[in-house]
A and B are shown apart, each in its own frame.
Chain A
């Protein structure tokens, strides 16, 4: 062998080792920062950065809407920052660390109080370019954090049972109705359907990790996700009963295994043609129905326990905020864009209603004129729950941002029979409480 000297090998290895270990230390994340150039020039025009999440269809729709906004307001330029939901949050984390936050941004549900605690939201009271004249006072009050109005709602979601009407008709199945539309009634129907339908379909997805439906379950039991003072609002028994509900369905063949649906969070494209019902958000019908255009999907309200706590229904409102550290010279322009986002029917004509039913009652009435059949069902589902008596709900406290990840993990442990439901629920609460305590 020709000279492969010890010195050369040492040099190579040392450089490789130094580079590698230094990279380990300097972090592994991606997080590309926004790098926008928001600001106001001497002529009074403004450049705003607008950040949101979603799929490629939503990206295209909102980009078109923002282009329309710039046509209508030639003095304002909007720079867009879009990402998939998880990547959006990670990028926001990086941007916030650098105080390089977009001027307007959608707020992920688990981060509302975390962002609020770190002054990410600008007070909207007195913002002249934001028109609140159509709103009920209760709707605005429902958005306040510690009494401060600092976010607007992009729309309203409610938890629902979505079902494939075409499949139900083909299989001769009829979902329980009226007084029989309880969790027990649903379970009995689901197990019977799965055992007897001729095509080997499942009755429902396996979905213990879904947040809105879990919240519906807990509130019917007199519990809640979070308390007003920023603590966990549920008990181990509450979570265990939820996991038991899903395990009963899975073990009896009414719901697929993790393998069959590719994880706890079901892959809709994979199982959509083989499940009769799906527990999820009201707004998801708009995108999910597109996967199977030959089928007709319908929405049902959540099953209700016979002894459900009065006032258990609730509305979930995804939020949009103006950055707390925005250049004050841009604030009025940001208000104009905020107004365009939440109070303009034509905006929703471009974007569609994937972010739920409008909170603004005037806009909600106007969009009904052009809503697609799937969107109309979503509007009806929200209108139904909106008319019911509702107890207050509270946002996830600072430190709880990983609660859904924890829920997914304990759901996996239960579904893979590595843990009992009560042990999994207890472990979830312990881990979550530690995280909240650390953040407080």
Chain B
């Protein structure tokens, strides 16, 4: 009898725990469905409509997607975004890895430095920092003031189409704290014996880095690469604030997401904006899948 009731009680307790888990998950599920999934599906429908936000959407087939082919600003936003991603993500990851390697050597005040370096990651996409960036790189900003001390007269970095995007790249690189912390955790996982053996064999520091650190860190590099690339494709706040929402000067900071926003909320062209958003979704999906396919050639897992 006792042997029959014990599993039943355990099953009953598991059921109760399961129900409780579902109750606790409910707010998140409601958010996922109501705030993310349904609007996403709605935008899929809107992508095939002419919808000015104020009146009912009108089905127009693939016209919104065809329009992109001849939309110069669409292509400009693609160029700007790809440049931003291709330049800022590798730089950010390299910088994060460098700092992680330095911090991993062990030093006094490590916790302080780790926190200090992580702070920009929390602030980087905020409006306040974007406003700060305007002050730093403006005509009379701190950067030009510093250059003036060595006799260089600078102009506004934000009003020059050759340098405006560069300032946003620097802003993104500056938020290296998040990948740095992940790199640091990964570095701590690498067994010290491997380095000791390498040292016994006479391997230089550079050789140890190339033959031990990098290979064993590739899953972390891969993880950071995916996260930061997706984040960079979705960068919005910095460009919106720094350019005053225009993507200027002359569209040199017209990020793809900013263009979506302009079309949807200032040009009242939500159908086209939805189509643009879906193109971004598909592109990020394909790119991520490509990363996974290629990862088998360079990512080494413990299993």
Give a binary string over B157-171; 1 marks a CB under 8 Å from any A CB, 0 the rest.
011110000000000
Give a binary string over A252-280; 1 marks a CB under 8 Å from any B CB, 0 the rest.
00000111101101000010000000000
Contacting residues of chain A (1-31) with chain B, CB-CB under 8 angstroms: 1-7, 9-10, 12-13, 16-17, 20-29, 31
Given contacts A89-B266, A259-B156, A262-B139, contact A26 B43 (CB under 8 A): yes
Q: Which residues of B contact A416 (CB under 8 A)?
A: 161, 249-250
Contacting residues of chain A (96-128) with chain B, CB-CB under 8 angstroms: 96-97, 114-115, 117-118, 120
Contact A90 B266 (CB under 8 A): yes
Cβ of A419 to closest chain B Cβ, rounded Å = 9
Cβ of A55 to closest chain B Cβ, rounded Å = 15
Q: Out of A1, A23, A27, which one reaches B302, CB within 8 Å?
A: A1
Cβ of A439 to closest chain B Cβ, rounded Å = 7
Contacting residues of chain B (261-281) with chain A, CB-CB under 8 angstroms: 261-262, 264-270, 273, 277-278, 280-281
Give a binary string over B279-303; 1 marks a CB under 8 Å from any A CB, 0 the rest.
0110011001000100000010111
Contact B138 A24 (CB under 8 A): no
Cβ of B169 to closest chain A Cβ, rounded Å = 20
- Answer whether residue A413 sits at the interface, using C-beta atoms and an 8 A cutoff: yes
Q: Which residues of B contact A405 (CB under 8 A)?
A: 246, 262, 266
Contact A25 B190 (CB under 8 A): no
Between A13, A435, A438, the greatest number of chain B beta carbons within 10 A of the residue's beta carbon is seen for A13
How many positions in chain B have a CB within 8 Å of any CB in the partner chain?
A: 69
Leading 3 A-B pairs by shortest Cβ distance: A118-B54, A259-B156, A259-B155
Q: Which residues of B contact A438 (CB under 8 A)?
A: 50, 269
Given contacts A1-B190, A17-B288, A118-B52, 18 further A-B contacts (CB under 8 A): A3-B303, A4-B301, A10-B292, A13-B226, A16-B230, A21-B281, A23-B36, A26-B39, A26-B43, A89-B266, A90-B266, A96-B53, A257-B155, A259-B159, A262-B156, A401-B268, A435-B267, A439-B268
Q: How far is the CA of A159 from the CA of B136 in the complex (A)?
A: 34
- Can you show 11 pairs from A to B with CB atoms below 8 A apart? A4-B186, A4-B301, A13-B223, A16-B230, A25-B44, A25-B280, A25-B281, A28-B261, A29-B265, A418-B250, A438-B269
Q: How far is the CA of A10 from the CA of B295 in the complex (A)?
A: 11
B interface list, Cβ under 8 A from A: 35-37, 39-40, 43-44, 50, 52-55, 138-140, 155-156, 158-161, 186, 189-191, 216-217, 219-220, 222-223, 226-227, 230-231, 233-234, 236, 244-246, 248-251, 257, 260-262, 264-270, 273, 277-278, 280-281, 284-285, 288, 292, 299, 301-303
Between B39, B222, B257, B264, the greatest number of chain A beta carbons within 10 A of the residue's beta carbon is seen for B264
Contact A402 B54 (CB under 8 A): no
Contact B262 A4 (CB under 8 A): no
Contact B159 A6 (CB under 8 A): no
Contact B234 A28 (CB under 8 A): yes
Contact B301 A93 (CB under 8 A): no
Cβ of B185 to closest chain A Cβ, rounded Å = 10
Contact A26 B40 (CB under 8 A): yes
Cβ of B6 to closest chain A Cβ, rounded Å = 33
- Answer whether residue A296 sits at the interface, using C-beta atoms and an 8 A cutoff: no
Q: Out of A3, A4, A409, which one reaches B220, CB within 8 Å?
A: A4
Q: How far is the CA of A19 from the CA of B192 in the complex (A)?
A: 36
Q: Which residues of A contact B161 (CB under 8 A)?
A: 416, 418
Chain A facing B: main interface SS: helix
- Answer whether residue A412 sits at the interface, using C-beta atoms and an 8 A cutoff: yes
Q: Which residues of A contact B285 (CB under 8 A)?
A: 17, 21
Contact B222 A25 (CB under 8 A): no
Contact B302 A263 (CB under 8 A): no
Contacting residues of chain A (165-181) with chain B, CB-CB under 8 angstroms: none
Q: How far is the CA of A29 from the CA of B39 in the complex (A)?
A: 13
Q: Which residues of B contact A17 (CB under 8 A)?
A: 226, 230, 284-285, 288
- Answer whether residue A281 sits at the interface, using C-beta atoms and an 8 A cutoff: no
- Answer whether residue A68 sits at the interface, using C-beta atoms and an 8 A cutoff: no
Contacting residues of chain A (27-65) with chain B, CB-CB under 8 angstroms: 27-29, 31
Q: How far is the CA of A399 from the CA of B260 in the complex (A)?
A: 17
Give a binary string over A120-141; 1 marks a CB under 8 Å from any B CB, 0 the rest.
1000000000000000000000
